[in-house]
C-alpha cells in the first residue's frame, strides 16, 4: 500500500530526445506527487510536483502527467540534454504528519 | 544550495562503533527528516521531527535514534554499527508538517558513512 513503483530502472536517450519515466502507486490517500533529481554525490533536489486535481503540469522542459484513475504518473523530459543525466525519483505523500514514499529511482543517461 | 547543512561529509568507522550525524535545517523550517540511501535499497525514510517532537517513523532500526534540539538542528545517532549500515544519510527539511501533502522537502548534501 505504501509502495511507489518506478520504471524503467535505467534509461539511455540521445540528446534532443524525449525521456519518459513512469511511476505507479496503490494508496489512493496520496495527495502530493513530487519528482526529485539527484546528481552523483549530491542530495535529491525537487524538480517538479503535482496534486491529483490536475492531469498535467509543465515547467520548462519538464512535464508531469497524472492519471488518477490508473494511479499512475509520469515525468517527461523534452529535448533531453547531457546535463539532465542524473537519477530521478518519483515520490508520494499524504496528509498531515505523513512521510514521503520514494520510488526506487531511474538512472538517466543522455548521450551527446 | 538547498540551505540544509550536514556534517560530517564523510565518516569512516569500524563495526560495533557509534557515530552521530548532524543536520541544520533551512532557516525557518520546523520539520527535519532523515533518510538512508544505499545502492540496493534506494531512499529509505527513517524518521521525522517537527519542532522538537518525533512526528513520523519509517524503517528506522532500534540501534538508530534521533532527536531535534530547541534550535531545530537534528542529530541521528547510529550505534552498534554493522557493515550493512554503510550508506549515504540525508537530512531534509520543510517549513512545517504537511497539512495538504504539499510540503516540499529540501535535502542536504548527505553524510557518507563507511563501516569497515
Question: In angstroms, rounded to a whole number, what is the distance separating the alpha carbons of residues B11 and B73?
Answer: 19
Chain B residues within an 8 Å CB radius of A94: 101
Question: In angstroms, rounded to a whole number, what is the distance separating the alpha carbons of residues B78 and B17?
Answer: 8
pLDDT (0 to 100) of residue B38? 87
Chain B residues within an 8 Å CB radius of A2: none
Give the nearest chain A residue to B96 (CA atoms): A97
Q: Report how many helices (DSSP H) and strands (DSSP E) chain B contains, helices first.
A: 0, 11
pLDDT (0 to 100) of residue B100? 47
- Per-residue pLDDT for B102 more than 60? no
Burial class (CB in 10 A: 0-12, 13-18, 19+), B10: exposed
pLDDT (0 to 100) of residue A36? 93
Give the nearest chain B residue to A39 (CA atoms): B109
CB contact under 8 A, B98 and A101: no
- CA-based nearest distance B104→chain A, Å: 7
- Per-residue pLDDT for A16 more than 80? yes
pLDDT (0 to 100) of residue A100? 73
Q: What angle do CA A43, A47, A52 make, to 5 degrees?
A: 125
Q: What is the mean pLDDT of chain A?
A: 91
pLDDT band at residue B101 using 50, 70 and 90 as cut-offs: very low
CB contact under 8 A, A99 and B108: no
Please compute the mean of the pLDDT values over residues A58-82 and round it to a whole number. 96
Give the nearest chain B residue to A35 (CA atoms): B104
- CA-based nearest distance A52→chain B, Å: 11
pLDDT (0 to 100) of residue B65? 96
pLDDT (0 to 100) of residue B99? 47
**pLDDT tens column, B52-100:** 999 888 889 999 999 999 999 999 999 999 999 999 999 999 876 544 4
| Closest Cβ opposite residue B45 in set A31, A32, A100 | A100
pLDDT band at residue A97 using 50, 70 and 90 as cut-offs: very low
- CA-based nearest distance A105→chain B, Å: 7
Chain A residues within an 8 Å CB radius of B55: 97
Question: In angstroms, rounded to a whole number, what is the distance separating the alpha carbons of residues A77 and B22?
Answer: 35
pLDDT (0 to 100) of residue A17? 97
Cis peptide before B14 (omega within 30 of 0): no
Most confident range (mean pLDDT) of A79-88, B42-51, B91-100 is A79-88
pLDDT (0 to 100) of residue B5? 97
- Per-residue pLDDT for A41 more than 90? no
Amino acid at each position: 500500500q505504501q509502495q511507489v513503483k518506478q520504471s524503467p530502472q535505467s534509461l539511455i536517450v540521445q540528446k534532443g530526445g524525449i525521456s519518459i519515466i513512469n511511476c505507479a502507486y496503490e494508496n489512493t490517500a496520496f495527495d502530493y506527487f513530487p519528482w526529485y533529481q539527484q546528481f552523483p554525490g549530491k542530495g535529491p533536489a525537487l524538480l517538479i510536483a503535482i496534486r491529483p486535481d490536475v492531469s498535467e503540469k509543465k515547467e520548462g522542459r519538464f512535464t508531469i502527467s497524472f492519471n488518477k484513475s490508473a494511479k499512475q504518473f509520469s515525468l517527461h523530459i523534452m529535448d533531453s540534454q547531457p546535463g539532465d543525466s542524473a537519477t530521478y525519483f518519483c515520490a508520494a505523500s499524504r496528509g498531515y504528519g505523513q512521510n514521503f514514499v520514494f520510488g526506487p529511482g531511474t538512472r538517466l543517461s543522455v548521450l551527446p | 544550495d538547498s540551505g540544509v547543512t550536514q556534517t560530517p561529509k564523510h565518516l569512516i568507522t569500524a563495526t560495533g562503533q557509534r557515530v552521530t550525524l548532524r543536520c541544520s535545517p533551512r532557516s525557518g523550517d520546523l520539520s527535519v527528516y532523515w533518510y538512508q540511501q544505499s545502492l540496493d535499497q534506494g531512499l529509505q525514510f527513517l524518521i521525522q521531527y517537527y519542532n522538537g517532537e518525533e512526528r513520523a517513523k519509517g524503517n528506522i532500526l532500534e540501534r538508530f535514534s534521533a532527536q531535534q534540539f530547541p534550535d531545530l538542528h537534528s542529530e541521528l545517532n547510529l550505534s552498534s554499527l554493522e557493515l550493512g549500515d554503510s550508506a549515504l544519510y540525508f537530512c531534509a527539511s520543510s517549513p512545517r508538517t504537511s497539512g495538504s501533502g504539499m510540503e516540499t522537502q529540501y535535502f542536504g548534501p548527505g553524510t557518507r558513512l563507511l563501516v569497515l
